[in-house]
Amino acid sequence: MRRANSMTRRLLAVGAVGAMTVGLAACSGGGGGADEDTVVWSTWGTPEELTRFEEFNEEFMQRHPEITVELQPVASYGDYHSKLLAQLTSGTAPDVFYIGDDKIGQFVDAGVLLPLTDLMESDASRTDPDDFFPGLFGAAETDGEIYAAPNDSNPDVLWYDTQALEAAGITEDPATLAENGEWTTEKYLEMNDALAEAGLIGSMFWNYWATHYSWISAQGGTAYDESGAFVGNDDAATVDSVETLGEYFQDGTFVVADTMPEGAGADSVFVTHQAGFFAQGRYTIGTVSSAGEQDSYDIVRWPTPDGQPAPTGVATSYLAINGKTDAPDAAFTFWTEFLSAEGQVFRLSGGGNAVPSIAGADEVVLEDGYPAHAQTFLDMRDIGFEDYAPEARVPGLSTDISDLFLKLYEGKSDAQSTLDAVADLVAEKTAE
């Protein structure tokens, strides 16, 4: 599923969710289902996504006539979690529900989700824990227990526009360079310099965790250590990489997509061939296809100093079961089939907007042969990572860190002071 952009994330970070731990601790009562044979589930989504979900419901009920499934959609991601919070507090929450990757840690820590590890390992399961790509669980897994699993995923690949590259006099193809182990940071920055010299935007990025941590990881840096402490400010490779990142934003070669003016947003700029690269997920297929510009675009992984692949960010959403559900057996049957390889093929086939999170469903990414290097989505997912759990567990922390990076991008701070500020903020928030 397409992630909410980081502007929406900032609007969500403070407010109702900030009181989540206190509110959820007091919740009581069962799930939204009226009885043990009814499963009520909730998500956000576009009209197209919700139509596909209703189709899944119908297909599921044909196979399970003893279970009634009801979808409670919430159109806006901005309204979704606050509504779910209110339902959990009043004991009227759905039996099964989506949770955003920027919220999952808060729900886990609040103790309102059904533990799933034993169920996933049972005979009733279609979703063994080992079937999922381990880097995608993020804060949904803690102390060896799984509380939610990724519905699907979206690696932030670098989409590139061959027309824009040609206009800048660039003759080398990024994906071909990557296949040959020659997609280096030096080569990527050279291309961005050429695009800027031609009066075009080099690269566009959303200002959220996957941008800064993907760049740091790709350049050999380390943001968090194994204990969960932020160490990027003391790691030379991280400081150097963030310094370069800041310089390219500050001179306008890189652009923060969130801050682009109304009427000239990133999608519009990209499909009118005004930018060379755009860091986004598989959902971009719909953007370029609707503009009739599909043949001009392809994808490539993030560049590295030595040209070899490195782990980068993968956005996800999660499916969880209400710990107070009145229909635990039916809820798990729905949950496990929704997330199964068959379920993900059903939901994502025919130009779906995401990449499967489970083994055995990769056909949906490769079925149409678009983009030409669609295998890149799978390769990046296989070694990628979700937002760091210590950060994802603290309400608003990821957004506050992105705000610190925005100051760097705007030239209001330098790399070292930005990373020092992040380290101080993480230490303060995680100690509370």
Q: Give the Cα separation of 161 and 400 in Å (integer).
A: 32
Judge whether residue 155 has pLDDT over 70: yes
pLDDT tens sequence across 90-126: 999 999 999 999 899 989 998 999 999 999 999 999 9
Judge whether residue 9 has pLDDT over 60: no
Query: Among candidates 390, 329, 393, 319, which has minimal Cα distance to 358?
Result: 319
pLDDT at position 223 is 98
pLDDT at position 65 is 96
What count of other Cβ atoms lies within 10 Å of the Cβ of residue 25? 12
Judge whether residue 327 has pLDDT over 50: yes
For 115-119, which contacts have Cβ atoms below 8 Å and span 24 or more sequence positions? 115/145, 115/146, 115/147, 116/145, 116/146, 116/147, 116/148, 116/149, 116/321, 116/335, 117/144, 117/145, 117/146, 119/332, 119/336
Most confident of 1-10, 22-31, 79-88, 300-309: 300-309
Share of the chain above pLDDT 90, in %: 81
**What average pLDDT does the segment 268-288 reach?**
96
pLDDT at position 32 is 61
Query: Among candidates 20, 1, 9, which has minimal Cα distance to 85?
Result: 20
Judge whether residue 13 has pLDDT over 50: no
Judge whether residue 280 has pLDDT over 60: yes
Going across the sheet that includes 68-74, the strands are 68-74, 38-44, 96-100, 314-321, 149-155
Model confidence band, residue 46 (pLDDT cutoffs 50, 70, 90): confident
Terminal-to-terminal C-alpha distance of the chain? 32
- Judged by average pLDDT, the poorest of 76-90, 280-294, 368-382 is 76-90
pLDDT at position 2 is 41
- Judged by average pLDDT, the poorest of 10-14, 79-83, 190-194, 223-227 is 10-14
Residue with tokens 């009427």: 263
Q: Give the Cα separation of 271 and 292 in Å (integer).
A: 9
Domain 157-312+396-431 has CATH 3.40.190.10: yes
Q: Give the Cα separation of 175 and 298 in Å (integer).
A: 8
Question: Do the domains at 6-154+316-388 and 157-312+396-431 have one common CATH topology?
Answer: yes
Judge whether residue 386 has pLDDT over 60: yes
CATH number for the segment(s) 6-154+316-388: 3.40.190.10
Give φ, ψ of 160 to 5 degrees: -135, 150
Q: Give the Cα separation of 375 and 383 in Å (integer).
A: 13
**What are the tokens at 21?**
């731990």
Cβ contacts of residue 43 below 8 Å, gap of 6+? Answer: 50, 53, 71, 73, 74, 80, 97, 98
Judge whether residue 85 has pLDDT over 50: yes
Share of the chain above pLDDT 70, in %: 91
Mean pLDDT (the chain) is: 91
Judge whether residue 48 has pLDDT over 60: yes
Judge whether residue 210 has pLDDT over 80: yes
What count of other Cβ atoms lies within 10 Å of the Cβ of residue 107? 29
**What average pLDDT does the segment 220-245 reach?**
97
C-beta separation of 82 from 42 below 8 A: no
Give me the residue spans of the domains in the chain: 6-154+316-388, 157-312+396-431
Give φ, ψ of 410 to 5 degrees: -90, 5
pLDDT at position 30 is 58
pLDDT at position 419 is 98
Higher pLDDT, 66 or 349: 66
Judge whether residue 12 has pLDDT over 80: no
Model confidence band, residue 355 (pLDDT cutoffs 50, 70, 90): very high
Alpha-carbon Rg for the chain, nearest whole angstrom, is 21
Residue with tokens 């043949």: 295
pLDDT at position 47 is 86
C-beta separation of 340 from 126 below 8 A: yes
Judge whether residue 27 has pLDDT over 60: no
C-beta separation of 418 from 404 below 8 A: yes
pLDDT at position 79 is 85
Q: Are strands 145-146 and 141-142 parallel, antiparallel or unpaired?
A: antiparallel
pLDDT at position 77 is 87
**What are the tokens at 418?**
């930005």
- For the chain, the residue count is 432
Sequence letter at residue 251: D
pLDDT tens sequence across 160-206: 999 999 999 999 999 999 999 999 999 999 999 999 999 999 999 99
pLDDT at position 11 is 33
